[in-house]
Chain A
């Protein structure tokens, strides 16, 4: 029986395993150095905040794996020997495979800052990171202040987490407005205000220079590059993005760029070795997507695709319309299609913001043809199915704004804002 070995028990590895099991009787082993069972990384914050316990973040009950004959192995893969088709673990044991799936995810970026390896300095990616945070920031006696470096999705989650334990947070963001590399101005600025409303000390346009050590090799303070200011703190969160977790593959002969290089069939340069999820890097970007897409949904889609290929039905990775979502403290965000912060030359935006400063939408459209390109929505839930359809049908902005109520997904009895949006749209169209 063919043995499929999957390194990584995250969403991409586990999705592959589940779908291979649906399609075939192959022997499947899933390896992880992190946890015994698959859990939802996206829910790490809720464990620290006390909304859930670790057990609740496991999408499948523990008996699931045995029942579906998916073998689990805890261990860190040190080397991949593709000539022998064999893996070697740090403990010294080995495992043979017939086909290998690399689904090893990401690690937090560290840019060589002085002091970045001190105790109390950490990213937020793994279960171990969460345990470390629990150790260094259990409450505001042990952690009098935390400094977070890097204003992205994980940075703001970390800020929210710490604030639920009443730990004062200083948030250093390189950009001059939160996440404005991705979000258009109006949205990004609304979020700046929301972050401050949550009593976060948001410092825009500020970088980390170094982290100072106190006794026992523990972080004592952070020095800001721009001002030279020294910020005393007990915990430093490094959240300046993630990159593929592939150091162990350097000598393997597998072609690497920033990630593991794959073609559209998710195959590496070595036969019978594939890579998916956060750690996979496309030779050529697909459409407007980045060559490495470190999001949950991509891991899931790649896993489903690869399972088909491995079970004898070779299939290209062909993602549909882009979508994503996040939550910034209390404000939910969803996006469908493409809205660029730095508009493409053909792109124009229509922006509406509610007076309460927690809801807004931005619709991107083609400046000549008026073709609908994408939407960002904050504080109003929208229907994925509807926007997916409108993008496929190549609707124009007029149609989208006039039919927005069809896409509304807010709970029943919520206030509706479509008419406000429409009149704003008409106003702006007149004034243009």
Chain B
């Protein structure tokens, strides 16, 4: 062991060497970054539009060229050589630099936007934000904000690293299609459409910034008063959007998740997932696969879900309460409705799927339900704005802890250290809901191919969600896990063709029997009897 480790570090240089095309790519990409940094130092760049175009083009071209240098002259196949030798992908020096840099960026972005040059109190933008003004004006007609800067860079990252991913997986059409899909949804739905829609806004008419695919509870402010009010005031269009938001939660998502599993959202549509799958692809092997990590995951993610649920209910009921004349739904109706809905949902799960829930899942479910219902009851009985906590404070606490720190600073900033899906795995309330459905009411599963598994561990290593895929595959079991985002990488990297993502009938989907084919049939009966 010790000699091996010593040598490993010495040798890292061999597979890590970069070729000429990669060098040129690095140079061009760095140039793009450099321009943005220069702007940050308020170097007076004339013709910002031109410089911004150069910077963004250089970023995309640099990354794409680097990828080309990496994968050209290589035959189609799995490209994981040297992943654990390279500093950036094995928590080495470069990874820590990248992690610290990204985290710093997020902290500035969320809490010190002035540092980026955001003009406060009507002042002109300066610095980086000013560099992005021309593009923002072009799209929405307004000056840029730090969020516009972020949105643009985010989209650029998904596009550039998406191109890289397409080259890396040129032999795998599943990977290609879903990558094109996230690139499209990010560019069109998250970036262009909301900006263009903002053009429609005037003094008498305004729509909230609306990314149609960004559903509650991932979009935790979806039902806040100012948004709902704006929607209602915008009449037909607004109501259509509001209705679409509600329908997508209660109708569209359940149907799609039933048919295809949560992957339809997490690996094909979602922006967080999109960034994780493209820019974060080099870090997927860093996720923690231990049993203890799985336990933590289940408690944390479901607690976030309960938090976001309570927060949203509190927020909505507050404005329903003090402005009752405006909405046909009264606060009482709303609260009772939520309680009945949750109670029913729980009853249905309990009735149909009790056997499929592990012991801690049952305790957890009961515990959470009791907490939520008692909060609602207290609130209902005590009247007033009390939800034990004041709704507004709850909302800002959530926004700070979950919306900023968890999803941004930790979730993305720590990519190179904790892996690319920490947020999706531990923190996303949307993933919690979809996951619950995927586990209990969905046709999706990963089928294990009889007895072919050789326990090599590639699948588990490259599962970004930290699922120990091998633990199931080597027993001949299908993989049906709430956290699986259906990225398909476990199936891609398996050297023995053992795994296939499928939508098939619900019957026999979860089969904890050992069906290691090739064995004596009588023996298998015996093994399973136990």
**A residues at B contact (CB < 8 Å):** 11, 19, 22-23, 40, 42-43, 46, 49-54, 56-59, 61, 130-131, 134-135, 138-141, 164-166, 197-198, 296-297, 300-301, 304-305, 308, 313, 315-323, 325-327, 329-330, 332, 334, 358, 381-385, 388, 409-415
Contacts and interface: CB of A to CB of B under 8 A. Distances in A.
Nearest to B448: A384
Contacts of B171: 330
Interface stretch (B230-238, B239-247, B390-398, B452-460): B452-460
A412 B523 contact: no
B337 interface: no
B517 A320 contact: yes
A140 B474 CA distance: 36
B82 A164 contact: yes
A197 B457 contact: no
Contacts of B290: 61
27 contacts: A19-B527, A43-B454, A43-B457, A46-B457, A49-B82, A50-B81, A50-B86, A52-B457, A56-B457, A57-B456, A59-B474, A61-B291, A135-B7, A164-B82, A301-B518, A308-B526, A318-B522, A320-B517, A320-B518, A327-B496, A330-B75, A330-B77, A334-B496, A381-B497, A382-B497, A384-B451, A388-B517
A68 to B, nearest CB: 13
A282 B35 CA distance: 72
Interface string B483-497: 000001001110111
Given A40-B456, A388-B450, A332 B82 contact: no
Interface residues of B, number: 65
A334 B452 contact: yes
A46 B81 CA distance: 8
Contacts of A411: 172-174, 488, 491-492, 500-501
B84 interface: yes
Given A300-B516, A318-B523, A384 B452 contact: yes
Given A22-B530, A51-B458, A325-B497, A139 B14 contact: yes
Given A42-B455, A52-B84, A319-B520, 7 more contacts: A49-B82, A50-B81, A51-B458, A301-B519, A319-B519, A323-B452, A384-B450
A413 B519 contact: no
**7 nearest A-B pairs in the assembled complex, by CB-CB distance:** A384-B450, A330-B77, A139-B14, A381-B497, A43-B456, A50-B82, A138-B11
Nearest to B1: A54
Nearest to B75: A330
Contacts of B455: 11, 40, 42-43, 59, 296
B15 A164 contact: yes
**Most central of A50, A384, A410 by chain B CB within 10 Å:** A50
B520 A318 contact: yes
B13 interface: yes
A319 B1 CA distance: 37
A415 B522 CA distance: 38
**Most central of A134, A297, A301, A412 by chain B CB within 10 Å:** A412
Contacts of B523: 301, 304-305, 308, 315, 318
B527 A383 contact: no
Interface in B13-28: 13-15
B75 A301 contact: no
Contacts of A58: 457
B361 interface: no
Nearest to A414: B173
A154 to B, nearest CB: 14
Contacts of A296: 454-455
B89 to A, nearest CB: 9
B97 interface: no
**Most central of A58, A130, A300, A322 by chain B CB within 10 Å:** A300
**Most central of B10, B501, B527 by chain A CB within 10 Å:** B527
B174 A412 contact: yes
Contacts of A381: 449, 497, 500
Interface in B438-477: 447, 449-452, 454-458, 460-461, 470-471, 474
Nearest to A43: B456
Nearest to A322: B518
Contacts of B76: 330, 358
B381 interface: no
B461 A52 contact: yes
Nearest to A320: B518
A43 B84 CA distance: 14
B7 A49 contact: no
B458 A46 contact: yes
B481 to A, nearest CB: 17
A23 B530 contact: yes
A413 B177 contact: yes
A206 B3 CA distance: 35
A410 B172 CA distance: 10
Contacts of B493: 51
B450 A50 contact: no
A405 B85 CA distance: 40
Contacts of B471: 59
Nearest to A165: B14
